[in-house]
Amino acid sequence: MSEGRILVVEDDFDISNMLQLYFKSQGYEVYVAPRGGVALEMTRQKMPNVIVLDIMLPDIDGYEVCRQLRTNLRTSHIPIIFLTQKDERSDKIRGLELGADDYITKPFDVEELRLRVRNTIKSAEVASLTSPSTGLASGRLIEQQLREIIHWDGWGILYIGIKGLDAFNEVYGFVAGEEVLRFTGMLLSDVVDELGTPDDFIGHIGGDDFIIITQQTLVHQLRDEIVKRFSQSVGTHYDFMTRQQGYLLVEDDDGNSVKVPLMSLSVGVLTASDGPFTDIREITEAAAEARREAQRNAAQGS
């Protein structure tokens, strides 16, 4: 199982290649961006667990990359470690003021960097800020967003679950299940990038539960596109025979073979118009009921 996903933002090929080889040998998934603009795009696509960010870049500097990541709801939670030749106190303070989590100066000890990366990822997980499976916001950040929307007009929520994931895990194992969660998180990000707004929020509540907070006018379009794309692509996680037959065979408690449909998404839609709501418990209960209603309607239609 991967130790986590690292995005290295560094225009020096020798350094980036060395870090990629080293961290891969330590069990991490490593992505490299040689420019700041590329880093911003890769962050949205890959949702790394931590970003190792050089300040001196050929297009926009690391400070600007950090600022843009911190002001975007979908990337504001991702830990950032600055990696730079600058060692003046003012440079360190500027990076920390922008929201960087740590700072290490070239030349650096790669073992020290590894420990900083490991500790930064663990700290974010312990603080319930980041999902270790998907890299999406989780726990406290989701609660914070829900508390904020109580005071907004025109908000919409998609409460998303993966039907059939338990059966999939039973047959293919939890590692394959983690890949499905990552695939789902990336799919949600892609659709929101294309059809949503920069202020939309995506979170991984836990297990197979996800949430999107967006505008009321966008919820149905986002829901339809997410469900369609998931249905079109989820078959790649199954073996060829299962894809062809369109169902998974599992055993029930009595040892009988049971046909389980391929995984699909169940999406509950809730908007400000369904309120008023006075606290986040009312919102989450109503969103859960909306998803159960969607499941019931799907079962009746099948």
- Return the pLDDT at 97: 81
123, two tokens: 């700290």
**Which residue ranges of the chain lie beneath pLDDT 50?**
none
Topology (CATH level 3) of domain 5-126: Rossmann fold (3.40.50)
Helix axes 110-126, 13-25, angle to 10 degrees: 60
- Reference 81, options 67, 101, 63; nearest CA is 101
pTM here is 0.76
Q: Could you give the C-alpha distances from 60 to 41, 72, 101, 105, in angstroms and in order? A: 13, 17, 20, 19
Rounded CA-CA distance 194/176 in Å is 27
- Return the pLDDT at 28: 95
- Return the pLDDT at 98: 82
> What is 141-190 written as a DSSP string?
HHHHHHHHHTT-SSEEEEEEEEETHHHHHHHH-HHHHHHHHHHHHHHHHH
Topology (CATH level 3) of domain 139-301: Alpha-Beta Plaits (3.30.70)
Classify residue 256 by its DSSP letter.
-
Phi, psi of 214 (to 5 degrees): -145, -160
Q: Identity (one letter) of the amino acid at 268?
A: G
Q: Is residue 52 within 8 Å of 8, Cβ to Cβ? A: yes
- Return the pLDDT at 1: 61
Strand order in the sheet with 80-84: 29-33, 5-9, 50-54, 80-84, 102-105
- Return the pLDDT at 288: 92
Q: Is residue 45 within 8 Å of 21, Cβ to Cβ? A: no
Q: Would you say the CATH fold of 139-301 matches that of 5-126?
A: no
- Return the pLDDT at 8: 97
Rounded CA-CA distance 49/122 in Å is 9
- Return the pLDDT at 301: 63
- Return the pLDDT at 142: 92
Cis peptide before 107 (omega within 30 of 0): yes
Classify residue 137 by its DSSP letter.
B
247, two tokens: 């169902």
Other C-beta atoms closer than 10 Å to the C-beta of 73 total 17
- Return the pLDDT at 302: 55
Length of the chain, please? 302
Classify residue 252 by its DSSP letter.
-
| Cα-Cα end-to-end distance for the chain | 37
Burial of 239 (0-12, 13-18, 19+ CB in 10 A): exposed
- Return the pLDDT at 94: 77
- Return the pLDDT at 146: 92
Q: Where are the domains of the chain?
A: 5-126, 139-301
Structure-token match 């891969």, residue found: 24
